[in-house]
Amino acid sequence: MSLSDDSRYLRGGPVAQRIIASVREDAAIATAEGFPPKLISITVGDTDAVDVYVRNQRAKAALAGIGFEERRFPADITAGELEAAIHGLNADPRVTGIIIQRPVPVHIPIKTLQAAVHPLKDVEGMHPASIGNIVYNQLDLAPCTAAASVELLKETGLDLKGLEVVIVGHSEIVGKPIAFLLMSEGATVTVCHHMTRSVAAHARRADALFVAVGKPRLIKADMVKPGAAVIDIGINAEIGPDGESRIVGDVDAESVKEVASWITPVPGGVGPITVAILLRNTMVALSRQRARYQATYGGVDKLAAE
Ligand SMILES: NC(=O)C1=CN([C@@H]2O[C@H](COP(=O)(O)OP(=O)(O)OC[C@H]3O[C@@H](n4cnc5c(N)ncnc54)[C@H](OP(=O)(O)O)[C@@H]3O)[C@@H](O)[C@H]2O)C=CC1
Ligand SMILES: Nc1nc(=O)c2c([nH]1)NC[C@@H]1CN(c3ccc(C(=O)N[C@@H](CCC(=O)O)C(=O)O)cc3)C=[N+]21
């Protein structure tokens, strides 16, 4: 079966387009009302997966009518200098959203940076004060990749209640938030990581398998239950047989697609939806800022008019 007509591929493009079309309408209205959205991306050092992400953020933000700027910092910058830069962006009323690209160099504690972003401008929900929302089933601004992965699983039409889900990878930005989002939907969730005794034994039980590790072809056909849905989140750059650089996921798609009922392609699966949800989150953050502005200054306008 050819890749293009195989219905087992869960494609992210159409879902992303739907989300971006709606964001575009919201952004146009907000801009006309005097609140133009503007997202700032902070990159420290150089990582392939970040480059791909930022390139697509820039392109899709332009499409959606959201202002976008990348601030790149060298890998040897200090945590203090970065915090100062973030405080500057917090104080700038033209900036409505801030995303800190991960990973950052090891000498910089990521949690300190995440905590430096004003919670109202935190478009990934990663501030320590925001991340807890998903524990309380408040899901309107969740980490983008986690939300994107769950969105793609829903495209299968599977009933998430009681579904046996296994997640491989437990990072703060992907694996852990996916677990919370799926628990909110009633799924039964197992989370594997590098200390798990047998990832294969767990993975083989899964009706839905999420993989976010960063290792090409980690998941092979014999680790997948026949009929399962496989959501491949990995973004790895490697040199293909033609000598050109290409992007591959964490799943050996060639073999796994013979066993699974659904599989997400890489590229073209979770990635495009992640970008779309980042833009949607940017609008959610903006509307929270507007609500705060109204609550603080709305009465002043009213008084002045009286
Ligand atoms: N498509 C998208 O939108 C996105 C894609 N990504 C991609 O997803 C991948 C993961 O990203 P991220 O979560 O940030 O990465 P991290 O490196 O932060 O986390 C990787 C996770 O994999 C676990 N792990 C490592 N080796 C194994 C193994 N052999 N078996 C089981 N678990 C293992 C680690 O466990 P431990 O901590 O215990 O070592 C860790 O929890 C990357 O390829 C990244 O580029 C990331 C974000 C968005
Ligand atoms: N704070 C933070 N949040 C993240 O969510 C985050 C991060 N840091 N660091 C890097 C990883 C990686 N990541 C990607 C998202 C979309 C694509 C994407 O658009 N992928 C297209 C690629 C298409 C192309 O090749 O241009 C696709 O898969 O089809 C790629 C990678 C988010 N990450």
* pLDDT > 90 fraction of the chain, expressed in percent and rounded: 94
Mark whether 266 and 281 lie in a shared domain: no
Q: How far is the CA of 244 from the centre of ligand 2 (A)?
A: 19
What integer pLDDT is reported at residue 6 of this predicted model? 75
Q: Residue 299 falls within a domain, yes or no?
A: no
Taking residues 58-73, report their average pLDDT: 98
Angle, vertex CA 275, rays to CA 35 and CA 18, nearest 5? 80
Residues in a beta bridge with 231: 210
Rounded distance from Cα 42 to ligand 2 centre (Å): 14
Could you tell me if 262 and 154 lie in one domain?
Answer: yes
- For ligand 2, the distance from its centroid to the CA atom of residue 145, given in whole angstroms, is 8
Predicted confidence (pLDDT) per residue in 155-170, tens digit: 999 999 999 999 999 9
148 in any annotated domain:
yes
Mean pLDDT of the chain: 95
> Does residue 153 sit in the same domain as residue 225?
yes
Beta-carbon contacts of residue 208 (< 8 Å; ≥ 6 apart): 153, 156, 158, 163, 164, 165, 166, 187, 228, 229, 230, 231
What is the number of alpha carbons within 13 Å of residue 210 lying toward its C-beta? Answer: 34
- Is the same domain home to 286 and 264? no
Peptide bond into 14 cis (omega under 30): no
Query: Has residue 302 been placed in a domain?
Result: no
pLDDT in tens, 234-281: 999 999 999 999 999 999 999 999 999 999 999 999 999 999 999 999
Predicted confidence band of residue 3 (pLDDT cuts 50, 70, 90): very low
235 CB less than 6 Å from ligand 1?
yes
Q: Residue 72 domain-assigned?
A: yes
Is residue 133 one of the residues assigned to a domain? no
In a mutational test of the pocket of ligand 2, which residue from 53, 150, 250 has the highest number of ligand atoms less than 8 Å from its CB? Answer: 53
Considering the domain boundaries, does residue 305 fall inside one? no
The answer as to whether 232 is a domain residue is: yes
Does one domain contain both 176 and 256? yes
The annotation status of 170 as a binding-site residue, yes or no, is yes
State how beta strands 188-192 and 208-211 pair. unpaired
**Which CATH number do you get for residue 84?**
3.40.50.10860
97 is in an annotated binding site: no
Evaluate whether residue 201 is within a structural domain: yes
Asked whether residue 101 falls in the same domain as residue 210, the answer is: no
Regarding whether 166 and 112 lie in a shared domain, the answer is: no
pLDDT of residue 87: 98
Q: Locate the ligand 2 atom nearest the alpha carbon of residue 173 and give its number.
A: 3
Interval 121-126 mean pLDDT: 97
Same domain (yes/no): 40, 64: yes
On whether ipTM exceeds 0.95, the answer is yes
**Distance of CA 72 to CAs 41, 50, 95, 126, 258, Å?**
8, 11, 16, 20, 42
Q: Is the pLDDT of residue 2 over 80?
A: no
What's the 170 CA to ligand 2 centre distance in angstroms? 17
Q: Tally the domains of the chain.
A: 2
Q: What pLDDT digit, counting tens, does each position of 169-218 carry?
A: 999 999 999 999 999 999 999 999 999 999 999 999 999 999 999 999 99
pLDDT at 7: 74
- Determine the structural domain holding residue 37 and report its residue range: 13-125+274-290
Q: Taking 60 as the threshold, does the pLDDT of residue 17 lie above it?
A: yes
Query: How is residue 127 annotated by DSSP?
Result: S
Instruction: Supply the residue whose CA is at minimum distance from atom 7 of ligand 1.
Output: 234
Nearest ligand 2 atom to the CA of 55 is 26
Closest CA to 263 of 226, 213, 237, 216: 226
CA distance 273 to 270: 5
Residues in the ligand 2 pocket, defined by CB under 6 Å: 49-50, 52-53, 56, 99-102, 124, 144-145, 173, 235, 247, 266-268, 271-272, 274-275
Q: Is 169 annotated as a binding residue?
A: yes
235 annotated as ligand-binding: yes
Measured distance CA(20)–CA(90) in Å, rounded: 25
Domain of residue 217, CATH code: 3.40.50.720
184 and 95 in a common domain: no
Ligand 2 centre and the CA of 4: distance in Å?
Answer: 22
**CA distance linking residue 155 with residue 13, whole number of Å:** 12
Residue nearest to atom 22 of ligand 2 (CA): 267
147 Cβ below 6 A of ligand 1: no
Q: How far apart are CA 20 and CA 26, in angstroms?
A: 10
Provide mean pLDDT across the span 78-85. Answer: 98
